[in-house]
Structure 1
Amino acid sequence: MKALIISDSHGLRDELLVISERHMNNVDVMIHCGDSELELNGKELQDYKVVRGNCDFIGAFPEELVHNLGEYKLFATHGHLYGIKQSLQSLYYRSQEVGAKIVCFGHSHIMGAELINGVLFINPGSILLPRLRKEKTYAILEIIENQASVTFYTINGEIFLTTRYEIGA
């Protein structure tokens, strides 16, 4: 199973279309973790499952999303409601409430992935305004059995970094 994860595009339109076209035949789901700053029914977001970010003022985007990715539950939110810039603790507690082993979020614009107590946290970074690095990034999560790999791509589709994790059922 594969999921494309993107966040914090802040008004970019063509780039979202290019990225979805680039990967639409290679992934099972595309998730936008908020701050698209676009309309809910816009063509740029038609292929994505989208949550509301703190800069999304148009459209009735949900605050959270739970999606079954094979045998794993994936939880997506923007992160601003969980104080992710201070700690992932509240987000971890929410993952436990919904039974998710994968958590996708944005808000900080800082690309990264880490495993905390069996829960894989993924922040794809930003395709407009990355922080702590210059590369504008998004991610693709691939799960085969209990092995997860997170590959970060630059906005141009070049592989930037791949990390691997063992996640429990």
Structure 2
Amino acid sequence: MHVRIGVISDTHGLLRAEAEQRLAGVAHIVHAGDIGRPDVIAGLRRIAPVIAIRGNVDTGQWAERYPDTKMVRLGGRSIYVLHDIHELQLDPVSCGVDVVISGHSHRPRIEIIQGVLYLNPGSAGPRRFNLPVTLAILELTSGGLRPFIHHLGSASID
């Protein structure tokens, strides 16, 4: 078994062509909030099925269809998605969660705590502060979880 999942967050209304290219070939895409505009999700859906949650900038009628958090099962793994890791209200270990995906901070993070992978893909939207523009690919294999952070080029819209 080998499932590739694209993980993106904090697009803030911008779906970069390089992000679309990097996500090509994934089985699913998880958007961890701060989508910005509904056409971002439409663009991602042209690549693969999308699981998305609402972030703090996602307001208005279009955003109401997206939940604040989502528990999903992909590739036999339990994945919990929320926007701000500081709002995590469940214990991933006791709930049997394999991966916690979050966004909000715009800082890429790959960390394993008590056997749970915490993955923040960083921000793939307009560059903010001096933070990198990134997304993640998470490979689910029979041997384990393999997360990768991909830096998107600075030649595009900044």
TM-score interval, normalised by the smaller of the two chains: 0.7 to 0.9
> Which residue number in structure 1 is paired with residue 27 of structure 2?
28
TM-score by length of 1: 0.73
With over 3 angstroms needed to count, the CA separation of the structure-2 counterparts of 1:23 and 1:42, relative to structure 1, is closer
TM-score by length of 2: 0.78
> Which residue number in structure 2 is paired with residue 110 of structure 1?
107
**2:44 is aligned with 1:62:** no
Note the aligned Cα RMSD (angstroms).
2.6
> Which residue number in structure 1 is paired with residue 156 of structure 2?
none
> Which residue number in structure 1 is paired with residue 116 of structure 2?
119
**Structural mapping, 1:52-91, within 5 Å:** 52-58=54-60, 59-60=63-64, 61-79=66-84, 82-83=85-86, 90=88
Runs of 4+ in 1 over 6 A off after TM superposition: none
Q: Separation in 2 of the partners of 1:33 and 1:122?
A: 10
Paired letter, 2:57: C
Q: Separation in 2 of the partners of 1:42 and 1:32?
A: 8
Q: Which moved more, 1:44-53 or 1:111-120?
A: 44-53
> Which residue number in structure 2 is paired with residue 19 of structure 1?
19
Q: Deviations over 1:79-107 (max 9, x none)?
A: 1xx526xxxxx4561x2464311111001
Q: Separation in 1 of the partners of 2:113 and 2:90?
A: 8
Contact 2:55 2:104 in 1 (8 A): yes
What are the ranges of 5 or more consecutive residues in structure 1 without an aligned counterpart?
Answer: 85-89, 157-169
What are the ranges of 5 or more consecutive residues in structure 2 without an aligned counterpart?
Answer: 154-158
**2:5 is aligned with 1:3:** yes
> Which residue number in structure 2 is paired with residue 148 of structure 1?
145
| Paired positions, count | 145
With over 3 angstroms needed to count, the CA separation of the structure-2 counterparts of 1:144 and 1:41, relative to structure 1, is closer
SS of match in other structure, 1:83: helix
> Which residue number in structure 1 is paired with residue 132 of structure 2?
135
Contact 1:124 1:137 in 2 (8 A): yes
